[in-house]
Chains A and B, each alone.
Chain A
Amino acid sequence: MAFATFTANGQTDTIVGAFATLPQWGIWSARVDLDRGDILMSGACSIALGNLVLKGTIRRGGIYAAGASYFVFGGADGWSLDVPPTSYRGSLTFLSTAVRDAAALVGETVVMEPGAERQIGTFARFGGPASRVLAALSPQNWWVETDGTTHVGARTSTAAPAVQVINYDQDQRTITFSDEDQVVLPGQTLSAGSLSGVISTLKVTIVDSVLRTEAWIQ
């Protein structure tokens, strides 16, 4: 089963189990189980679940008797790190300035979505987790993309590619599919039967060598 691999520290291992959550806004996270654990991996990593490639950073993990397991956060895993307090003044202060300043302190890269830029004037950045800057200036309108960059602004809604639907639940508003070739992401529109809407959260799992994706529909 080579469709799911984990790469870090120059080494690529096969993923035998995975549980990844991609929210509509915020930071994606994933737990991966590997079939071997020759060396303890750390730092930047890449997770390939079929054609879905996630670039993130190992937060914790370890080598066990039958392999290794790692917990990974999107991007540089920097948004939970503390930044010192500071403030901005003047009518020419832009949202991107305050966000990029915080991002630079924690090793993240920011992409501004069209229409997201605005003047913020005075802004008081409290000391604490860097993500609070995003929460204050662009609440529920930012996310860490699969490539590890942090996007600020509203997602552009596009149609999801056609996938092989296994099941859908009208009451729970979920669509389950299994398709390692197609890349489906939050913010895209997906439909199955009478259920249709924008994907708010994706849960991608590999259990017993089977990749399965569950999409929550808004």
Chain B
Amino acid sequence: MRDRLFDAVRSVIREFVMPLVSPRGIYEYAVFSQSGNGYDLQPTDLTLGLPPLPDVVFKPGIPGLTSSLQTGTLVYVSFVNADQSKPFILAVAGPQDAPFVPSTMTLDSTGRIHVGGTETADPATFGRFLRSGDSVTIGTGSAPTGATGTIVFGPIITTMSKAGS
């Protein structure tokens, strides 16, 4: 049989004041390994009663961004709709918490990706990404005076064909 007063106080605290951990919180985990599109995570604070989480997806909050996190990366985990069957990685810890840099990262869009500029800014002022397969034209004249070609990554490009030549 249990102590009556201890039981009552413990119940009140757990239910209303400090329900230990709940799926409404955000918790720090470390990446243990990657499995397919998900990550196996370990809680960094073992006193909270958090379980290790398998196969957790990373939802970085930036459309078009995918990345592979390194083992040991500190991440922040929450649960969709406070559902314990839907954990997800909400964010990655800052640069001061190495390893911060992902092993790979892809930023994709169906249109342009602007860096450091807006749609109304002068494109000549800002840099652009060029992707493999993008068409480029060097110079302002039309063929055959303007040079055109296709961006190819991989083997080092030593020459670029000139249209009309």
Binding site for B on A (CB under 8 A): 42, 58-61, 80, 84-87, 89-90, 120-129, 136-137
Per DSSP, chain A at the interface is: mixed
Q: Compute the total of residue contacts between A and B using a CB distance below 8 Å.
A: 71
Question: In whole Å, how far is A174's beta carbon from the nearest beta carbon of chain B?
Answer: 26
Most buried by B among A90, A124, A127: A124
CB distance from A25 to the nearest CB of B (A): 16
Q: Does B94 contact A (CB under 8 A)?
A: no
A60 and B4 contact, CB distance less than 8 A: yes
Which residue on chain A has the smallest CB distance to residue B51? A85
Minimal Cβ-Cβ distance residue in B for A127: B49
Main secondary structure of the interface of B (DSSP, over half): loop
**Pairs A–B under 8 Å by Cβ, sample size 13:** A60-B2, A60-B7, A85-B50, A120-B85, A121-B85, A123-B84, A124-B85, A125-B84, A127-B48, A127-B51, A128-B14, A129-B14, A136-B23
B2 and A59 contact, CB distance less than 8 A: yes
User: Chain B contacts of A125 at CB under 8 A?
Assistant: 51, 84
3 A-B pairs with least C-beta separation: A127-B49, A85-B51, A89-B54
With an 8 Å Cβ cutoff, the count of chain B residues facing the other chain is 27
Judge whether B9 is part of the interface by a CB distance below 8 angstroms: no
Residues of the B chain whose Cβ atoms lie less than 8 Å from the Cβ of A128 = 14, 19-21, 49
How distant is the Cα of A121 from the Cα of B83 in the complex, in angstroms? 12
Q: Does A59 lie within 8 Å of B55, measured CB to CB?
A: no
Contact B20 A59 (CB under 8 A): no
Q: Which residues of B contact A122 (CB under 8 A)?
A: 53-56, 85-87
Contacts A59-B1, A59-B2 given; 9 further ones with Cβ under 8 A? A42-B1, A87-B54, A89-B54, A122-B87, A125-B51, A126-B20, A126-B21, A126-B23, A128-B19
Contacts of A124 in B (CB 8 A): 23, 50-51, 53, 79, 84-85, 87
Contacts of B7 in A (CB 8 A): 59-60
Contacts of A61 in B (CB 8 A): 1
Q: Are B51 and A89 in contact (CB under 8 A)?
A: no
Contacts A58-B1, A60-B4, A136-B23 known; A126 to B50 CB distance under 8 Å?
yes
> Are B20 and A136 within 8 A (Cβ)?
no
* A136 CA to B53 CA, complexed, in Å: 16
Contact of A89 among B21, B55, B84 (CB under 8 A): B55
Query: Closest chain A residue to B15 by CB distance?
Result: A129
Bound Cα distance from A127 to B4, whole angstroms: 23
Q: How many Å from the CB of B89 to the closest CB on chain A?
A: 13
A86 to B84 Cα, complex, angstroms: 12
B23 near A85 with CB under 8 A, answer no
**In the complex, what residues of A have CB within 8 A of residue B23's CB?**
124, 126, 136
